[in-house]
């Protein structure tokens, strides 16, 4: 059980804001905010290097907390400035070449697919799109049939930015393992609202962010790289933290995933993100997943009952992201009108999900994303506000 009263007390913004934009950037709980502020105060009072020394225990706890969160090992975890850069640090370091094939899906995030396009132009590998099944998610049987001797990577998004779909990541992992193909999972929208276990999923690489469902600070992200494949990746850039300058003309990577880190980083953000991972685990990810799923489905059901509203979430399993359109209302106008009423949502544009939204003739959708600190009373208020737009 989740103590909603305590959680909302830890989230004082709930008193005056209805926040349904957790897929954009969630509200930090007070312990996360205070951990962040403590480091910033120390930086102001004694200096940045000295503040970092004071925060060493929390900095090191980042690796153990995220290892526990994802069911990984501490040396498989890296702190990276954001989810996109975390994904890039792994992807751009892969030894892909002309004639190789990379498989992805129409739910892939824009930044990831742009990177695939860029490297395809540079290196000459081919991009294959796995078909969707009847629910709009990855067709795992088709994926199994598509993999051939030239397939070197499966790169998919667990939860896309533009809807409530949850791709069957663990089933994809079994296919990847069967064929011995590297598996890169973007978990930017899933970690923090879904109980993500890298051992059960079977991914080799996973990237994520702090600001969304983990409720951490902006400017923070993380990367998981399975220990057994780490030497198959050549970090696209290194510095004196990620590598050791062993001789005048030689160097060695440091052990583990920290070879993907930079020496200069957002120390306060790192500590805040550690605290966010700890906070989520204290509540329990299974508890969070159950509550978020139930709240989101209640919201979908309520919106579906409004004349002129269409809900557009795909997937057999759905998460806390709810996307919809109201007939005759531009989603941008919807978001602006709700914001004036202290209700936060965002807009999913075709340009962020062209492979998915363009074939469905959807230029934009209003995106409402709930979290465990939200309530059924807020859903009622939200639905009434949507009716009035």
- Please check whether residues 153 and 263 belong to one and the same domain: yes
pLDDT value, residue 361 = 96
CA atoms within 13 A on the CB side of 338: 27
In the sheet with 346-349, reading across from the earlier edge strand, the strands are 309-311, 321-326, 364-369, 346-349
Spatial separation of the C-alpha atoms in residues 151 and 140, rounded to whole Å: 15
Other beta carbons within 10 angstroms of residue 200's beta carbon come to 12
Q: Looking at residue 1, what is its pLDDT?
A: 83
Instruction: Please give the helix or strand (H or E) that residue 68 lies within, else none.
Output: helix 56-70
Identify the domain boundary among 255, 282, 309: 282
Indicate the DSSP class of residue 328: T
- 0.85 exceeded by the pTM? yes
Residues 373 and 296 in one domain: yes
Structure tokens given for 236: 């696209």
Residue 305: what pLDDT? 97
**Both 143 and 202 in a single domain?**
yes
With beta carbons less than 8 A apart as the criterion, state whether 235 and 89 touch. Answer: yes
pLDDT string in tens for the chain (389-residue length): 899 999 999 999 999 999 999 999 999 999 999 999 999 999 999 999 999 999 999 999 999 999 999 999 999 999 999 999 999 999 999 999 999 999 999 999 999 999 999 999 999 999 999 999 999 999 999 999 999 999 999 999 999 999 999 999 999 999 999 999 999 999 999 999 999 999 999 999 999 999 999 999 999 999 999 999 999 999 999 999 999 999 999 999 999 999 999 999 999 999 999 999 999 999 999 999 999 999 999 999 999 999 999 999 999 999 999 999 999 999 999 999 999 999 999 999 999 999 999 999 999 999 999 999 999 999 999 999 999 99
Looking up residue 102, the CATH number of its domain turns out to be 3.40.640.10
Q: DSSP of 149-202, one letter per residue?
A: TTEEEEEEESS-TTSSB---HHHHHHHHHHHT-EEEEE-TTTBTTB---HHHHT
Whether residues 23 and 91 fall in one domain: no
Quick one: pLDDT at residue 299? 98
Q: What's the confidence (pLDDT) of residue 16?
A: 93
The count of structural domains within the chain is: 2
127 with 99, same domain: the answer is yes
- Token code pair at residue 200: 């059960």
Domain end (from 262, 282, 302):
282
Q: What is the pLDDT of residue 63?
A: 98
Q: How far from each other are the two terminal CA atoms of the chain, in whole angstroms?
A: 35
Q: Do 384 and 298 belong together in one domain?
A: yes
Could you say which of 246, 261, 282 is where a domain stops?
Answer: 282
Do 320 and 366 lie in one domain? The reply is yes
Q: Is 315 left (phi over 0), alpha (psi -120 to 50) or beta?
A: left
> What would the two tokens of residue 264 be?
């200069």
Rg (CA), the chain: 21
Task: Give residue 189's pLDDT.
Answer: 98
Q: Do 82 and 219 touch, CB atoms closer than 8 A?
A: yes
301 with 258, same domain? no
368 has which bridge partners?
Answer: 322
Q: Are residues 16 and 72 in the same domain?
A: no
Q: 312 vs 136, 162, 165, 212, 315, CA distance in Å?
A: 11, 9, 10, 21, 10
Buried b (16+ CB within 10 A) or exposed e, 232-244: ebebeebeeebee
Q: Which domain holds residue 75?
A: 31-282
Residue 305 per-residue DSSP state? T
Q: What confidence tens digit (pLDDT) does each residue in 137-146 have?
A: 999 999 999 9
> 80 with 224, same domain?
yes
């Amino acid at each position: 059980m989740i103590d909603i009263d305590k959680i909302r007390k830890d989230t004082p913004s709930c008193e005056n804001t209805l926040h349904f934009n957790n897929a954009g950037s969630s509200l930090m709980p007070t312990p996360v905010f205070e951990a962040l502020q403590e480091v910033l105060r120390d930086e102001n009072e004694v200096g940045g290097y000295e503040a970092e020394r004071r925060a060493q225990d929390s900095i090191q706890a980042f690796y153990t907390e995220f290892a526990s969160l994802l069911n990984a090992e501490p040396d498989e975890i890296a702190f990276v400035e954001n989810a996109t850069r975390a994904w890039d640090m792994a992807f751009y370091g892969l030894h892909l070449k002309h004639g190789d094939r990379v498989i992805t899906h129409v739910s892939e995030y824009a930044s990831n697919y742009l990177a695939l396009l860029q490297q395809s132009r540079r290196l000459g590998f081919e991009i294959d799109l796995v078909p969707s099944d009847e629910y709009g998610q990855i067709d795992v049987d088709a994926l199994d049939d598509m993999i051939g001797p030239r397939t070197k990577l499966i790169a998919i998004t667990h939860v896309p930015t533009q809807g409530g779909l949850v791709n069957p990541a663990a089933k994809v992992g079994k296919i990847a393992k069967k064929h011995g193909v590297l598996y890169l999972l973007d978990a930017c929208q899933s970690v923090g609202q879904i109980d993500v276990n890298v051992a059960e999923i079977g991914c080799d690489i996973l990237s994520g962010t702090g600001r969304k469902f983990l409720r951490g600070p902006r400017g923070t992200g993380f990367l998981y790289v399975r220990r057994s494949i780490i030497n198959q990746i050549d970090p696209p850039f290194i510095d004196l933290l990620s590598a050791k300058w062993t001789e005048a003309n030689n160097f060695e990577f440091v052990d583990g995933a920290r070879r993907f880190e930079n020496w200069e980083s957002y120390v306060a953000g790192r500590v805040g993100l550690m605290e966010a991972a700890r906070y989520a685990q204290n509540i329990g990810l299974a508890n969070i997943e159950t509550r978020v799923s139930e709240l989101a489905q209640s919201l979908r059901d309520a919106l579906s009952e409004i004349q002129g509203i269409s809900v557009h979430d795909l997937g057999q399993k759905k998460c806390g992201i709810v996307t919809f359109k109201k007939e005759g209302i531009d989603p941008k106008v919807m978001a602006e009108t709700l914001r004036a009423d202290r209700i936060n949502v965002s807009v999913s544009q075709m340009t962020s999900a062209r492979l998915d939204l363009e074939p469905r003739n959807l230029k934009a959708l209003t995106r409402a994303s709930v979290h465990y600190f939200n309530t059924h009373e807020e859903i009622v208020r939200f639905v009434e506000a949507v009716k009035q737009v």
